[in-house]
């Protein structure tokens, strides 16, 4: 099917064809009117000197010379033949070389040559007969002078036609632009229904979009419920397997049964990784569920981060890693508490995991004072991430090749979703504290 541009092109071509056809019809009509008027004018002029044939010839020659000069000035190349008889005797013929019978419009001869339009007027009292024939020159219509004559009225009328049409289209599409703006302002989590349209023509469109949003919302909710239920169902058997793996390790000695001890350690590590994956899946689902305005609360961000970091101190102490927090000034910010906590847990947890034993993780909060943009930075002393992988690490289950540390590949995906939910975005770079990675969480300006 033709698109909007195709329809406009077809309409434009049809309009041009109509203009050309109308121009030809208009030219023939104007030629006929000109013939009648000029023949009548010649007859009135000749009646004054009807008793003097020589005067008739002289006056006609002078009138014809004036007409030719005017046509030449206008660039009009159509030929005109004027013939006058009196009592059957030809007194004047402006084009004696032309045949007596000229091709008229619609005749076979007119297919290969310009057609002619002829008008005759007679006066029985004086015996005068005026025959005027005018050539219809199609080529003249596409010349500059022809277009000026034929299209002047159309050109002058275009503003009167196009301006109302433009206003009608603009006003008519305004409700549609409003709907497009409402949809464009939404984030990916907002699947609430659009407000009802007061315009009868747009009501079916709004209803169809709302039905689509409702079906999409139900499908996403079913997916979230399925993943959450599956993860919860896995937690119990994994916990049981984990306990049994620890029991086996506690009863198997390396000296007596070295193979069994290695197998038990492998079982324990595998269960730990599976449990971590399940916890990460649950965390990802929690931060991916659509947000609502009630979930955003105002907190003092520096204090919130400090409290969350305190819960991660045991993880850092197990590897003798120092976590430092630097906040310039207190900062009030509306956040989604659970998702922001997941963001900190994953970013700082990754920094601790990839930093060497005895290393340092630096967390800085700055800006938000109306001068600088509010930003949270997490510096580690790990191997960092090569630039070619920095855009891919936010994909689910992607892990940088060659990493010795185990993981699920969900940590940065969870952090990115949590950042988006809190009107922020994440950027990666090289840490100024060493060779490690720095993760910036850049918050948008609060409305």
Domain span at 348: 292-443
Q: Which helix (DSSP H) or strand (DSSP E) does residue 144 occupy?
A: helix 144-184
What's the total number of domains in the chain?
3
Residue 148 lies in a domain: no
pLDDT digit string (tens) for 213-224? 889 888 877 777
Averaged pLDDT for residues 419-437? 82
Q: Does one domain contain both 304 and 438?
A: yes
Is the same domain home to 388 and 299?
A: yes
Q: How many CB atoms are located within 10 Å of the residue 365 CB?
A: 23
Q: Are 137 and 196 part of one and the same domain?
A: no
Distance (Å, whole) CA 332 – CA 83: 101
Q: Is residue 326 located within the same domain as residue 398?
A: yes
- Residue 281 in any domain: the answer is yes
Other beta carbons less than 10 A from residue 31's beta carbon: 22
Kindly state whether residue 50 falls inside one of the protein's structural domains.
yes
Q: Given 261, 290, 319, which residue is the final one in a domain?
A: 290
Each residue's pLDDT tens digit, 56-95:
888 888 888 888 888 777 766 668 888 998 888 888 888 8
* Same domain assignment for residues 300 and 269: no
Give phi and psi for 327, each to the nearest 5: -130, 125
* Number of other residues whose CB lies within 10 A of the CB of residue 363: 22
- Is 301 part of any domain? yes
Per-residue pLDDT at 254: 55
The rounded distance, in Å, linking the Cα atoms of 359 and 184 is 46
**How many Cβ atoms from other residues are within 10 Å of residue 201's Cβ?**
10
Is the same domain home to 323 and 274?
A: no
205 shares its domain with 308: no
Let me know whether 286 and 303 are in one domain. Answer: no
pLDDT digits (tens, 9 = 90+) for 158-210: 677 778 877 887 887 888 888 888 888 887 667 888 888 888 888 888 899 99
Between 1 and 58, residue with greater pLDDT: 58
């Amino acid at each position: 099917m033709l698109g909007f541009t195709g329809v406009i092109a077809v309409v434009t071509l049809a309009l041009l064809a109509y203009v050309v056809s109308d121009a030809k019809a208009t030219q023939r009509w104007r030629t006929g009117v000109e013939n009648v008027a000029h023949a009548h004018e010649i007859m009135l002029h000749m009646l004054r000197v009807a008793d003097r044939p020589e005067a008739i010839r002289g006056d006609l020659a002078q009138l014809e010379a004036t007409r030719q000069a005017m046509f030449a000035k206008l660039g009009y190349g159509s030929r005109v033949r004027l013939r006058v008889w009196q009592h059957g005797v030809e007194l004047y013929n402006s084009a004696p070389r032309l045949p007596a019978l000229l091709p008229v419009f619609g005749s076979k001869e007119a297919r290969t040559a310009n057609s002619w339009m002829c008008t005759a007027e007679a006066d029985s009292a004086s015996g005068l007969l005026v025959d005027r024939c005018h050539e219809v020159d199609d080529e003249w219509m596409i010349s500059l002078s022809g277009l000026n004559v034929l299209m002047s009225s159309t050109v002058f009328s275009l503003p009167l036609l196009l301006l109302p049409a433009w206003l009608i289209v603009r006003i008519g599409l305004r409700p549609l632009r409003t709907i497009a703006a409402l949809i464009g302002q939404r984030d990916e989590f907002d699947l609430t229904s659009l407000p009802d349209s007061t315009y009868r023509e747009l009501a079916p469109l709004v209803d169809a979009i709302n039905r689509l949003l409702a079906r999409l919302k139900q499908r996403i909710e079913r997916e979230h419920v399925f993943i959450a239920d599956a993860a919860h169902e896995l937690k119990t058997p994994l916990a049981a397997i984990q306990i049994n793996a620890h029991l086996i390790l506690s009863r198997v000695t390396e000296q007596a049964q070295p193979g069994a001890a290695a197998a038990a350690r492998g079982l324990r590590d595998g269960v730990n990784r599976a449990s971590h994956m399940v916890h990460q899946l649950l965390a990802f689902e929690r931060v991916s569920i659509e947000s609502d305005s009630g979930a955003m609360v105002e907190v003092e961000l520096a204090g919130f981060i400090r409290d969350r970091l305190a819960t991660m101190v045991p993880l850092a102490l197990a590897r003798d890693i120092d976590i430092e927090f630097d906040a310039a000034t207190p900062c009030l910010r509306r956040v989604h508490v659970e998702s922001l906590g997941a963001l900190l847990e994953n970013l700082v947890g990754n920094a601790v995991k990839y930093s060497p034993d005895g290393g340092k993780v630096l967390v800085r909060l700055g800006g938000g004072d109306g001068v600088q943009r509010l930003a949270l930075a997490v510096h580690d002393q790990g191997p960092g991430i090569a630039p070619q992988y920095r855009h891919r690490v936010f994909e689910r289950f992607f892990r940088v090749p060659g990493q010795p540390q185990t993981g699920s590949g969900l940590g940065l995906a969870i952090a990115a979703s949590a950042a988006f939910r809190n009107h922020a975005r994440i950027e990666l770079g090289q840490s100024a504290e060493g060779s490690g990675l720095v993760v910036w969480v850049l918050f948008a300006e609060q409305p």
